[in-house]
Amino acid sequence: MRAGATVGMQDCMATQGGTVTLDKRGERAVVLGGGMAGLLAARVLSDAYNQVIVVDRDELTGTATARNGVPHGRHAHCLVARGQQILEELLPGTTQAMSDAGVTLGDFNAQIQWYFNGRKLAASDSGLICVSSGRPILEQHIRTRVQAIPGITFREGHDIAGLDTTPDNTQVTGARIQRREQGSDPEVIAADLVIDITGRGSRMPAWLTELGYPAPPEDRIKVDLAYTTRHYRLKNGNPFTTDIAINQAGTPACPRGVFCYLLPDGKTVELSLTGVLGDHPPTDPDGFDQYVQSLPLPIHYQFIQDWEPIDDPVRFKFPASTWRHYETLTRFPRGLLVMGDAVCSFNPVYAQGMTVAGMEALALQQHLQAPGPLNALAFFTDIASQIAGPWQFSAIADLGYPGVEGERTDQIKLVNQYIPAVLAAATTDPVVCDAFLRVAGLVADPMSLMQPDIAKRVGRAMQQRATATAQH
């Protein structure tokens, strides 16, 4: 067993040939979907099952570019601070290996130029690391490490067709898969545990209904968002110097945004424009340039005048954030779990999905280490408590846009009056800036921004701005 791996079930200890070994929870677990959440789950499952099989429709091994199964992988991705910490906990040494390979990572605060409402946040060292290097590269680094773990194998190029169950449908006994080749026969992989991690397109609600179970109720926040992304080659100099990204974040006051960072070759820039409520960044080159020009600050427009475009803009539409509330179900088949975007898919501009996938992997680890049979509904309750904070953060921020449908309680209205004041204070006060970015990095609770010391600083900054405005 790998150093540090703990099955943690005292009653599973057995003596073999004089050495103490830890029995596994079962023989085989099958992970449906080899995306970011699937990889982290596979890592955790390998401690508890002799075999972990990851099934995906794409060819994954060695893939360092965007792939069909993850069309959003063509667009800006940033692994925020808490996600990086979890990555190190589950796969120690990955950050250093990525850094050695040229992946852009650095301080979440001091090494990212963050602009909100046309003003730069006050940078300071946060000691928090963020990886801002493109999704396929990040996924490839994680996948390479996961593939090296004994017991984990990948069934690539296979479609997932459904679940195999006992005749009474109370226990999932495996997954039905089929190679993506004409004439190939469907096959069943028998398993003690099957986890659906196939992303927001998960068919689990339909599968449950077919098996005679209720589908989970769903929360949706319609944002009608689109990312449009183009890549450029640096020509004269490198404006990033020691920064890892230069971002203008969209807000209700200035809804158009841009995420922009260098890829590991050190000369290619990934630039993703974001627009909400149908104001989608165009895919024709002229329209794309005009959208860049319309951002609150001219910095990115000046950059692209100097950079050479190397592809055409590509768009990804994201209609709504969705949270499927599996934790509210009262019946669920044994031997089955759901994780990742298949449970909750967040508005991506807040960069939470991969980190929440990591938080769910840690929750899975705890459940696997606990004695007794896996309890799916208890697992769903635990991950719901992990999801709740980030969901609240992004949902409340989205409801700050008058065009987003949804109920606005007095508390939500209050928060959406307070946050612009926090952002304004964060442009002059590094302490407020740090507090805000800790929340955005998912290392601090959103309520920490309401603490008296931060609220006082926000109030002081408001007063200073009012005084300065009065004097001019």
Single out the residue of 144, 192, 119, 7 nearest to residue 433, CA to CA.
Answer: 119
Considering the complex, state which of residue 316 and residue 418 has its C-beta at the smaller distance from ligand FAD. Answer: 316
Residues 179-218 within binding reach of ligand FAD (CB under 6 A) = 197-199, 201
* 386 vs 454, beta carbon nearer ligand FAD: 386
Instruction: Name which position in 194, 354, 363, 461 contacts ligand FAD (CB under 6 A).
Output: 354
CA 447 to CA 18: how far, in whole Å? Answer: 53
- Phi then psi for residue 11, to 5 deg, are -75, 0
**Subset of residues 126 to 145 that bind ligand FAD, contact rule: CB under 6 A:** none
Q: How far apart are CA 197 and CA 201, in angstroms?
A: 10
- Residues within window 283-312 making contact with ligand FAD, judged by CB under 6 A: none
Question: Which residues, in sequence order, are bridge partners of residue 249?
Answer: 116
Residue 21, strand partner residues: 14
* Interaction pattern, residues 409-428, with ligand FAD; x per rule: CB under 6 A: --------------------
Cα–Cα distance, 69 to 56 (Å, whole number): 8
Phi, psi of 161, rounded to the nearest 5 degrees: -95, -25
- Helices 376-399 and 410-426: crossing angle in degrees, nearest 10, is 70
Least distance in Å: CB of 86 to ligand FAD?
Answer: 11
Site string for ligand FAD, 434-463 (x = CB under 6 A): ------------------------------
| Rounded to 5°, angle at Cα 103 from 102 and 109 | 120
The number of residues that bind ligand FAD (CB under 6 A) is 35
Q: Which is nearer to ligand FAD, 231 or 457 (CB)?
A: 231
Best CA proximity match to 135, nearest among 240, 230, 270, 319: 270
> x/- binding map, residues 223-262, to ligand FAD, per CB under 6 A?
----x-----------------------------------
> In what helix (H) or strand (E) does residue 221 lie, and over which residues does it extend?
strand 218-233
Interface segment toward ligand FAD; rule CB under 6 A; list 247-255, 281-289, 298-306, 354-362: 354-362
Cβ burial, residue 417 (10 Å; 0-12/13-18/19+):
exposed
Size (the chain), residues: 472
Cα separation, 300 vs 277, whole angstroms? 22
Contact between 157 and ligand FAD per CB under 6 A: no
- How far apart (Å, rounded) are the C-alpha atoms in residues 107 and 17? 49
Closer CB to ligand FAD, residue 323 or residue 454?
323
From the list 11-19, 232-240, 353-361, 402-410, the region that binds ligand FAD by CB under 6 A is 353-361
The pair of structure tokens assigned to 274 is: 């974001």
Among 25, 30, 35, 258, binds ligand FAD (CB under 6 A): 35
Residue 340 makes contact with ligand FAD by CB under 6 A = yes
Q: Is 70 in the site for ligand FAD (CB under 6 A)?
A: yes
Which listed residue (25, 43, 77, 256) binds ligand FAD by CB under 6 A? 77
- Closest C-alpha to 322, from 414, 398, 403: 398
Binding of residue 86 to ligand FAD (CB under 6 A): no
> Which residues contribute to the site for ligand FAD (CB under 6 A)?
33-38, 56-58, 69-70, 72, 75, 77-79, 159-160, 197-199, 201, 227, 316, 318, 340-342, 348, 351-355, 357
